Structure 1
Amino acid sequence: MDRAARIGHLGELAETMIGYVENKTTFQGKDTMTVPAASYCDEKVYRQEIDRVFKRLPLMLAFTAELPNAGDYKAMDAVGMPVLITRDKDGTVRAFLNVCSHRGAPVAEDGHGNCSRFVCKYHAWTYGRDGRLIGINDQKSFGEVDKAARGLKQLPCEERHGLIFVSLDPEGSIDLDGYFRGYLDDFKDLGFADWHFIGSREIHGANWKIAFDGYLEGYHFQSLHPETIFPRTPSNTMHYEGYGPSMRIGFPQHEIGNLLKEVPREEWGTRENYGYDFVRILFPNVSIFVAPEITQVAQLFPGPTPDKNRTVLNYLCREAPRDDEEAEKLEQMVNFFRDVTYEEDYVIGLQIQKGLESGAHDELIFGKNERGNQYFHEWLNWYMTGDPSAPEPVM
């Protein structure tokens, strides 16, 4: 689908969402769905999710905007795996396990930086940006080493339209076209590769699925967000589209009809944020909300135990701030988004975790109106069974 066709398709979605608001309806699945309450608490399930999902599927771990220049790098933890992402002098992005081949120490501290080589602080073994071992401290006394066989362990990595994907399986592979099925073209249309990275905040909450469930529906907007989200966006009014296991979720604004009818029908597909908003879900753990002033990208990771998650909230904007005053305004918006996400969504998530661990109910139920949650859990179950011959979930 070319860009013109995608804009036309988004215009059709906008028209559908006008109908939702005018008729007080929403996208509907075929039936309700139940999920075992224990799946949010069980140690075995938690371990299987890490091994069968997080360590096998392509994870969006960084942005082009974080590594715009040759020599830039990002070191981070992803479900207990130390990851180092680098940009070589020719512009190539690579990913490695951030583990020295001598005694296992990291070769870069967590965070961002720029360098021509990585030096392990334990014994000063040195690696190039391409992961090759290029120097051994006092090699004469150390003994013979096959440097070619002792480079950093490389991970499958691919950069696409401003997003950097990594597989945590060194023996795995990445097929972004097969996995996202055209969905990443959204980010090409947004020009995401040229955006500016503002920074990130880290928050912690309940089981990662409890937290992620909250990103997948707007059924709770009026009751949980009466002063922050609901004044802009009606409750229980969503549109869902599946792209493989990932989703685009449309949220019409209260005034969608009035706002869109002010412009020609053929322009409706270009009016994101001016009548409707999208939350873009990248399975298994990323939620992206694009707003005119600032964009929040939430990366959710299972925490150290089943009842905990670690969420990295990343913030980007289309252009770098022009002065200190503009930068300060962006920082205030970052803190506002972070506070709403934690204080309104993650706090209730911690209470849900306690409720599920009480054993009060054997299962949770997702309504026909919560089709995004159903679709997410259907795909999660599909990957957990490990049977590629089983039919894929359909939106």
Structure 2
Amino acid sequence: MYQASSTMPARLNRKQYTTSESHEHDSRQLRDRTWQIVAAKSQLSKPGDYVAINRLGIPLLIRNHDGELIAARNVCAHRQCELVELGNGNRKELKCGYHGWCYGGDGRTRKLPVAKDFPGFNREAHRLDMYPVRVVGGLVMVHLNPESIDADSSANKFDCVDGLDGWKDWSDEFARRSNDSQWGLIMNEELRFDCNWKVALEGSLEGYHLEEVHPHTFGPAPDEEHVNHMFYGSGTTLETIARNESWMTRLEIWLAHRMTGGHDPTYRHVHIFPNTTGAFQDSAGLIYQFYPLAPNRSAMIALGFGRLADRGGLVGKALAKLRGWGAAALTRRLIAEDGAIFPKVQRGMEGGNSRPRLFGRCEERLDAFHRHWMNTFDDEPISPSDTCDNRAITS
């Protein structure tokens, strides 16, 4: 059931989707105050494995250093050369290809060619910038503002100095949905959209568009009586057991029984404020995070996990692989369908319509996001009494 009793106004205005000032504000807030999903754990399973990305303006290197996952700015402390090219691979040493400076897992230099030419060299002053790393199931996460993390926090906790630690509430569920004992990685992609990151995120938080945008992949959204929305201080959820009667659904149920001995029809969608979501079914799950590239450009890291077979031997493993391939293909199609409509929303935002947007009762999770963003990240937060919690939302 929905919790809203009336139509709700959109609380973020169009300038917050279109201007350079808003883009810089959003990037800074996400960079300084949120955890970033940067890689799948399986990409970093062997010593020397690395992933190099750019995230929110920071060149980032995540590496398995003798069994420990570390994250560093991908820039040499000597002449600021890029340490490794973007992508992933394996290197025995963390070494700059320009002058041969080598670094340890703490970011300090381990080898300095012709060290006598650097008298009085200060290893503390000239080292790599390092970032906190957390592992949640099959996810590797990095915080790009080390000063915001509690210095006494262990490597398994999400304790932030400013209290913005919503991942503490959801890490167990996301770990269960991505651990390598039950799930295998079936998708690992960065996808880009010609729209503001909030446009893309909001498209994932409602099913009102399904019949129009996904008529052959999803079809109509379930009726209200078959949907349950829940609201919490750190996020929102949607649950439903309503399923269509297509041949794909029947095949999925048959495969589940062959591979695991049963089938749970529940579909669960989780939004962790502000920019992380998870879509979970019995057979597969997709965890994705949105982030800005420009006022009208955004990206999404998408990690998909398929359920491993626990029965059926080689046949069960083959069926799991086939089902994982099918789930990944369907996910790519759904994202492409969404990605085709997002630029139209962005152009509409930039068109300057003075009339305010509005949300229907079925879109109440968007209202929750707006309330949380304004109260937590905006320069002029709304009244605390107007924020979303686990009570019913009213306009």
SS at match of 2:373: helix
The yes-or-no answer on 1:249 pairing with 2:238 is yes
Whether the aligned pair in 2 keeps the contact of 1:116 and 1:128 (CA below 8 Å) is no
Match of 2:389 among 380, 386, 394: 394
**Pick from 327, 347, 352: which aligns with 2:345?**
352
1:198 and 2:195 matched: no
Change beyond 3 A, Cα 1:172–1:99: farther
- CA displacement at 1:154 relative to structure 2: 1.0
Q: 1:363 aligns to what?
A: 356
Q: CA deviation at 1:235?
A: 5.8
Q: Distance in 2 between matches of 1:29 and 1:213?
A: 20
Deviation at 1:358, TM superposition (A): 1.0
- The match for 1:210 is 199
SS at match of 1:83: strand
1:193 CA displacement = 4.9
CA distance in 2 between partners of 1:225 and 1:389 (Å): 35
Query: Are 2:278 and 2:285, in contact at CA under 8 Å, matched by a contact in 1?
Result: yes
CA separation in 2, counterparts of 1:202 and 1:187? 19
Q: Deviations over 1:219-262 (max 9, x none)?
A: 1112221111127x526664333343323222332469xx9xxx
Question: Number of paired residues?
Answer: 355
CA contact (8 A) 2:205 2:366 kept: yes
Unaligned runs of 5+ in 1: 1-19, 21-25, 260-270
Structure 1's 199 and 132: CA in aligned 2 closer, same or farther, altered over 3 A?
A: farther
- Alpha-carbon spacing, 1:319–1:328, altered in 2? closer, same or farther (3 Å): closer
- State the match for 2:29 in structure 1: 52
Q: 1:274-316: per-residue Cα shift (whole Å, max 9, x none)?
A: 332012223322222234444322221101x201112222222
Question: How many angstroms apart in 2 are the aligned matches of 1:275 and 1:325?
Answer: 19
Q: How does 1:1-395 map to 2 (within 5 A)?
A: 20=1, 26-28=2-4, 31-34=7-10, 35-89=12-66, 91-173=67-149, 176=158, 178-190=165-177, 192-194=179-181, 195-205=183-193, 206-230=195-219, 234=222, 238-254=227-243, 274-303=264-293, 305-319=294-308, 330-331=324-325, 333-342=327-336, 344-385=337-378, 391=384, 393-395=388-390
Distance 1:372 1:296, change over 3 A: same
TM-score by length of 1: 0.78
Distance verdict in 2 for CA 1:366–1:120, change over 3 Å: same
**Aligned counterparts of 1:345 and 1:364: Cα–Cα separation in 2:** 20
Rounded Cα–Cα distance in structure 1 between residues aligned with 2:80 and 2:6: 51
**CA distance in structure 1 between the partners assigned to 2:268 and 2:48 by the alignment:** 34
SS in 2 for 1:46: helix
Q: TM-score, normalised by structure 2?
A: 0.78
Letter in 2 for 1:336: L
- Shift in CA distance, 77/328, structure 1 to aligned 2, threshold 3 Å: farther
CA contact (8 A) 1:134 1:147 kept: no
Structure 1 contact 219–235 (Cα < 8 Å) conserved:
no
Residue identity matched to 1:198:
I
Provide closer, same or farther for how the CA distance between residues 118 and 235 of structure 1 changes in structure 2, counting only shifts above 3 A.
farther
SS at match of 2:389: coil
- Equivalent residue number for residue 268 of structure 1: none
User: Aligned partners of 2:318, 2:107: CA distance in 1, in Å?
Assistant: 38
> Does the aligned pair in 2 maintain the 1:300–1:311 contact within 8 Å?
yes
Residue 27 of structure 1 and its aligned partner are, at CA, apart by 4.1
Would the alpha carbon gap of residues 137 and 282 (structure 1) be closer, same or farther in structure 2, given more than 3 Å must change? Answer: farther
Q: SS of the residue aligned with 2:370? A: helix
**Cα separation, partners in 2 of 1:155 and 1:332, compared to 1, 3 Å:** same
Give 3-state SS (helix, strand or coil) of 2:24's partner. Answer: helix
1:132-170 Cα distance to aligned partner (Å, 9 max, x none): 211123333455422243221111222234333321113
What letter matches 1:173 in structure 2? I
Q: Deviations over 1:313-363 (max 9, x none)?
A: 222224499788975764454233112212x21111101111111112443
In the superposition, relative to structure 1, how do residues 393 and 128 fare at CA in structure 2: closer, same or farther (>3 Å)?
same
- C-alpha change, 1:116 and 1:218, in structure 2 (3 Å) is same
Matches of 2:170 and 2:353, distance apart in 1: 40
Does the 8 Å CA contact 2:9/2:356 hold for their aligned counterparts?
A: no
CA–CA distance in structure 2, aligned partners of residues 328 and 240 of structure 1: 32
In structure 2, what is the Cα distance between the partners aligned to 1:390 and 1:104? Answer: 45
Q: Per-residue displacement from partner, 1:27-62 (whole Å, max 9, x unpaired)?
A: 435651223122211221111111123332222323
Q: What 5-or-longer segments of structure 2 have no aligned partner?
A: 151-156, 160-164, 250-260, 391-395
Cα separation, partners in 2 of 1:119 and 1:255, compared to 1, 3 Å? same
* Cα separation, 1, equivalents of 2:106 and 2:329: 36
Contact 2:206/2:365 (<8 A) preserved: yes
Aligned alpha-carbon RMSD (Å): 3.3
